[in-house]
Chain A
Amino acid sequence: MILIVLLLIVLALLGAPLFAIIAASAMLGFYYADIDLSVVAIEVYRIAQMPALLALPLFTFAGYLLGESQAPKRLVQITDALLGWMPGGLALVSLTACAFFTAFTGASGVTIIALGALLYPALKQAGYPDNFSLGLVTTSGSLGLLFAPSLPLILYGVIAQQLNLPKQLTIDDLFIAGILPGLLMVVMLTAWSFWVNRAARAPILAFSARKVISAVRASIWELPIPFVVLGGIYGGYFAVSEAAAVTALYVLVVEVFIYREVSLQRLPKVMRESMVMVGAILIILGVSLASTNYLIDIGVPEKLFALIKQYVSSKLTFLMLLNIFLLVLGAMLDIFSALVIMVPLLVPVALGYGIDPVHLGMIFLANMQLGYFTPPVGMNLFIASYRFEKPVMQLYIATLPFFFILLAAVLIITYWPGLSLGLLQ
């Protein structure tokens, strides 16, 4: 048994698709427990019984379509018109635009590809040092993860809802909880950017109403999207999946028929590509439902809690260990598999230490956000290296200061539950 588990771990590290690893371990578990293996199929079928999951394909499609159009350019243009005149404005523009785009497109690295390509040359032209610009753009690629309607937030909610929690959490709770921690990250990065570039003062431009008007005019059709989605969700008019449906249809009409930047011939390809990501996530979610079911059946969360409790008695120590564990996890695994595999195990243990599942969600995702550019294997480091044609080594160095800033933010989020839970009360 132990030998087989080791074998599976080796296969996973050698690059075997994670869904196959998880499926194999679930089947092995059920086989040894003498349970009919068709239970695995029954668990995968449960994907068809989770209403909130509808948001996943719809938001992913909308995000891919926005990325294929000129929307990123217009987003930078309008953010620049609104914020670019301030001292250090372009750094603020980059952070804001990226956070926005990531929240709406689900943190798949597409932010670096779509926005980084516009922002990196602009930052360099404005006189920011090369490494600072690279680091800023790479870091911003995962900023915005904590803002509605980001897919990792939704997925955390979906998974947590599967566990029989004493107090059921809603995805709306998570959307509200993410506001302040997300803002904290943006504010800290902005402050750092101002401080670093305080000497190299770019000329302060005058705020130009004309620039704003022309930017607004260019993106007049896309401007309603955030208002409708965020207003609809926070105002309680829409369920998450409904907001996703409105967004998908609206983006489709605007980009294909009004701006005509994605042709009807290209549309099927964009649809297919976006569903590759959805399929890759859902198949892992499906088989994980089975493996989680097995682990809960044999009482792993309780045993895990009892084991940790033996060595760790205080909540504070537990949180510290949790941070270290999640940082390592985030550097190894992508955010979606990490969520699906670890959340069912972590939530019960954290509950045992009196940590609110909503707060745990913020801790988890904030750590994972850092994992996107934690050396040596953070995904965004490679995406940025490829996109900007820079050696990965330079990206390690360029992102390091940003890493420490966000690490500080993650620690604040972890040890100050009120930041996440305050708005909920």
Chain B
Amino acid sequence: MGQDDDTGVSRHLRLMARIVDGILVALLAFMIGLAALQILMRNLFHSGFVTGEPLLRSLVLWVGMLGAIVASRTDKHISIDVLTRLLPSKAKAAVRVVIDLFVSVVCVLLAYHAGRLVASDYEAGTLAFANVPAWMVELILPFAFGVIALRYIFLCVAAVNRFIAYTRRA
């Protein structure tokens, strides 16, 4: 990466990031509006959309998973940060290579099995609520885990480069 920041992979990554950001913000705004509308309807007309409640619950999953994607971008996931503070830079880079690789593998597996869930619910025609098929709601899972896997693969490559740079300097 480095100087050719505006071409190839990183451009796609940035485009992807903007799309995810856009969907995330739109869904959150929709969620706030819908939740407020629900209360208004219930209190004024003693009714609400029957689908409003499960729709809101599905939105929580979507917003959460999209938020998790954004968290992966800058590695803001919750972790125990005790030992790494004490390590020298080169060892830190080596540790990062292993960790990022580990997270990538785990997320690829999660994405794969979530994909299988989507496929089986698609075939079975399971409904999530009203006439919304379950696979549509579940789709966020393989997508999110897939993107997170991708992110950590790139973080891993960056860590390898850092490690090489430290080795050369030494």
Task: Please give the residue numbers on chain A whose beta carbons come within 8 Å of chain B beta carbons, in ascending order.
Answer: 11-20, 23-24, 27, 37-38, 40-42, 44-45, 47-51, 53-54, 56-58, 61, 238, 241-242, 244-246, 248-249, 252, 268, 271-272, 275-284, 286-287, 332-334, 336-337, 377
Kindly provide the distance from the CB of B29 to the nearest chain A CB, expressed in whole angstroms.
7
- Are the C-beta atoms of B28 and A61 separated by less than 8 Å? yes
**Residue from B65, B82, B83, B106 in contact with A279 in the complex, judged by beta carbons closer than 8 Å:** B65
Q: In chain B, what residue has the closest Cβ to A48?
A: B61
Nearest Cβ in chain A — how far from B126, in angstroms? 11
Nearest CB on B from A104, distance (A): 16
Q: Are A40 and B113 in contact (CB under 8 A)?
A: yes
Cβ-closest chain A residue relative to B53: A51
Q: Residues of A contacting B103 with CB < 8 Å?
A: 16-17, 20
Known contacts A54-B60, A336-B78: does B39 contact A245 (CB below 8 Å)?
Answer: yes
Q: Can you sample 29 A-B contacts with CB below 8 Å?
A: A14-B83, A16-B99, A20-B103, A20-B106, A20-B107, A38-B114, A38-B117, A41-B114, A41-B142, A44-B114, A48-B60, A48-B128, A51-B57, A58-B31, A241-B56, A244-B35, A248-B35, A268-B25, A271-B28, A271-B29, A275-B28, A275-B66, A276-B71, A279-B69, A280-B68, A282-B68, A283-B64, A283-B77, A334-B78
Contacts A11-B99, A56-B60 given; indicate if A38 touches B116 (C-beta within 8 A): yes
Task: Tell me whether A47 and B78 are in contact (CB under 8 A).
Answer: no
CA distance A336 to B78 in the complex (A): 9
The verdict on B76 contacting chain A, using a C-beta distance below 8 Å, is yes
Smallest CB–CB gap between A119 and chain B, Å?
27
A278-B64, A280-B76 known; A271+B25 contact, CB < 8 A: yes
Q: A15-B83, A17-B79, A41-B114 are in contact. Are A47 and B60 (CB under 8 A)?
A: yes
In the complex the two chains form, what is the Cα distance from A12 to B36 in whole Å? 40
Partner of A245, one of B21, B36, B64: B36
User: In the complex the two chains form, is A337's CB within 8 Å of B78's CB?
Assistant: yes
How many Å lie between the Cα of A61 and that of B61 in the bound state? 16
Interface extent on B, as a size class?
Answer: 35 or more
Shortest distance between the CB of A337 and any CB in chain B (Å): 5
Cα-based distance from A173 to B81 in the complex (angstroms): 34
Question: Of the candidates A38, A53, A278, which one forms a contact with B67 in the assembled complex, judged by CB atoms under 8 Å apart?
Answer: A278
Asked whether, in the complex, the Cβ of A42 is within 8 Å of the Cβ of B64, the reply is: no
Contact partner of B82 (CB less than 8 A), chosen from A283, A286, A332, is A332
Partner of B35, one of A15, A58, A277, A278: A58
Asked, given contacts A41-B110, A283-B68, whether A54 binds B102 with beta carbons under 8 Å apart, the answer is: no
Are A54 and B35 closer than 8 Å at their CB atoms?
yes
* Beta-carbon contacts under 8 Å, B36-82 to A: 36, 38-39, 53-54, 56-58, 60-61, 63-71, 75-82
Find chain A residues with CB under 8 A from B75 CB: 17
Additional A-B contact list (19), CB under 8 Å, known A41-B141, A48-B54: A11-B99, A11-B102, A17-B77, A17-B79, A27-B109, A44-B141, A45-B61, A45-B117, A241-B35, A252-B32, A268-B25, A272-B21, A275-B67, A276-B76, A279-B66, A280-B68, A282-B68, A332-B82, A377-B81
Tell me which residues from 72 to 109 in chain B have a Cβ below 8 Å from any Cβ of chain A: 75-84, 95, 98-99, 102-103, 106-107, 109
Assess the A283–B106 pair: CB atoms within 8 A. no
Give the residue of B24, B77, B84, B113 whose beta carbon is less than 8 angstroms from that of A41: B113
- Cβ of B137 under 8 Å from chain A: yes
Provide the residues of chain A in CB contact with B68, threshold 8 Å: 19, 279-280, 282-283
Contact check, A377 vs B82: say whether CB atoms are below 8 A apart: yes
| A268 & B57 in contact (Cβ 8 Å cutoff) | no
Nearest chain-B residue to A16 (Cβ)? B99
Complex CA gap A45/B114 in Å reads 9
Inter-chain contact A245/B57, CB cutoff 8 Å: no
Interface centre among A54, A249, A275, A334 (most CB of B within 10 A): A275
Closest-CB distance, A80 to chain B (whole angstroms): 32
Contact present for B36 and A14 (CB under 8 Å): no
Closest CB-CB distance, A124 to chain B, in whole Å?
A: 29
Question: What separation, in Å, do the CA atoms of A272 and B29 have in the docked complex?
Answer: 11
Decide if A276 touches B64 in the complex (CB within 8 Å).
no
CB neighbours of A14 from chain B (8 A): 83-84, 95, 98-99
Residues of A within 8 A of B2 (CB): none
- In the assembly, what is the distance between CA of A15 and CA of B142, in Å? 25
Contacts of A16 in B (CB 8 A): 79, 99, 102-103
Q: Please measure, in the bound complex, the distance between the C-alpha atom of A417 and the C-alpha atom of B35, giving whole angstroms.
A: 36
The CA of A23 and the CA of B99, in the complex, are separated in Å by: 14
- A13 to B84 alpha-carbon distance, docked (Å): 8
